[in-house]
A and B are shown apart, each in its own frame.
Chain A
């Protein structure tokens, strides 16, 4: 029997503000006279959501901001009621929705533990029994009789987390709470969550933007998009889908955005940039470790003598990753006004899958005076058919892959056996 059953769950909100007296009176009189009154438009925060969760399942809910994750949790925790559809929950729910709701600043830590425990549904004996454990976990023994308003924000969150996770409920709802405190405490929180999940066999619903965390803790992940369930399946599969969608979204926004930071002397202008793949076909993305050709068209307006061209790759947050320039490799001579096509070929493009951007520059030979410079010219999406994003994640695992080869040898001084016999080789 499922512990949580959600069927055809829909939640609508009316957009705009509650109307004042004047507007209400005007609308009412208009309605009485049989006229049409403009209704405030509806917004579907959740749109026909269906799923069920079995006892002991650990389910992550991910999605972009505004995808409906928190609304869904509110429905499950009974804080808000659905417009239509139903939510069935069998068992006690402990909502860890933003820990520390209901802390009273003037109260001491001790008083707040009792208050917060009662609010979360613990009985007095239950709190008394667990009090020492809570204080101990939060590392607050020294400050427990100090008003909470004198605590640092980290201390408050630690105490709140300790109270909230000590509730004995068979369903735990967690909304973005693991990102609390310093690194050591985060580690502790994470361990506690794992303990709750793995050893106590509780059913857990975890909402987070930290996809790696979700992937590690959950067995099943639901990906929400615009109030609907976009994916529901094993955590690795759904997380990969989410990474892909995320990259695509960045790619699309950059494509439509106006190019940033261009400085030009007016002598030369950029006409277009095109990506050509290994077979010379125009492409919108680059494949990891495949050859790529950047075809850049410049329009020269005034004669340039011996220009130097530059091409660079940077991340979407402007970390310069690579810069190449043509000095010493390309001798263009003097370029009279006209349209020119510059090609820059890169063999085995080394950047890991993700979204990058291009920067371009032109300088005069001899004086090195820049005549054209532009950043964020073109978003470059790198994809890979072979690398699993769950293993190699952008931003966490770096940007580049090195072309190396691996080997392992037994040390000769310790071992009499011959070199060749013991060598084990593996190559990338």
Chain B
């Protein structure tokens, strides 16, 4: 654990430079430039708002467009940093074969890159909040913690995925499919309150209801998205009970994922 922190510190400048490279590379020779970072969540927000007008989703007292945008922000961040992290090692074959530095820098840098895009989306969120005349509360101080937790969740998948992807490119191909499935298992289109009502209040699945809810919250994104919406829009503290099972899972899986990555790392240059 200590060496991880030391590596991160020693290579902070390289990571910053590589993150800057990733961002600059994406928007060089693109007329819209960095604006592309907001196009995806904004488009999805518009589509979901349109869909919602047909099917009717209970969004409480928060206007649906801003609720779904606040869900899309952590979701898009998680989804993109995971998939970029998984392909980051294979995508940097030229560097891997020529120069040594700790290889975890690649997945970590991918996440850092996405952090910048997340930051840009905060500007849009602030604009939406102003539009709906919502005032941020003191609970907004939870945001950095929630994002840090999201980063850990993304890295859990990114480390092991990136390592396996070196041997079997199937991972890179399968991940987008799995992630889009995960989106429907996360409270992006619908608020978590809907799931709570169905399972915890109405006990819709009978005696299985409580277990199903635990299973649902095993997905860390369930807690993350709900917490993000709570602290930013509802002005309430995060519902920690929805985060516990996910957090325990991440706490167990992240070290394993990292250890696997470090074990596989030494043969990257030979196999890639």
Binding site for B on A (CB under 8 A): 13, 18, 74, 77-81, 95, 97-98, 101-102, 104, 106-107, 111, 114-115, 118-121, 123-124
Contacts and interface: CB of A to CB of B under 8 A. Distances in A.
Nearest to B27: A106
A97 B29 CA distance: 30
Interface of B: 13-14, 17-18, 21, 24-25, 28-29, 94-101, 167-168, 266-267, 269-271
Nearest to B15: A118
B25 A13 contact: no
Nearest to A106: B28
Contacts of B101: 119, 121
Nearest to B93: A101
B94 A119 contact: no
Contacts of A118: 13-14, 17-18
Contact of B267 (A81, A98, A107, A121): A81
Contacts of B100: 77-79, 95
Contacts, number: 65
B95 A102 contact: yes
Given A18-B167, A74-B269, A119-B14, A104 B99 contact: no
A77 B99 contact: yes
B269 A98 contact: no
Nearest to A147: B28
A326 B207 CA distance: 111
Contacts of B267: 80-81
A98 B98 contact: yes
A13 B96 CA distance: 17
Nearest to A108: B28
Contact of B266 (A81, A98, A104, A119): A81
Nearest to A81: B266
A99 to B, nearest CB: 9
A406 to B, nearest CB: 52
B193 to A, nearest CB: 43
Contacts of A121: 14, 101
Nearest to B10: A121
Contacts of A102: 94-95, 98-99
14 contacts: A77-B99, A78-B100, A79-B98, A80-B267, A80-B269, A97-B99, A101-B97, A102-B95, A106-B28, A106-B29, A111-B24, A119-B17, A119-B101, A124-B17
A313 to B, nearest CB: 45
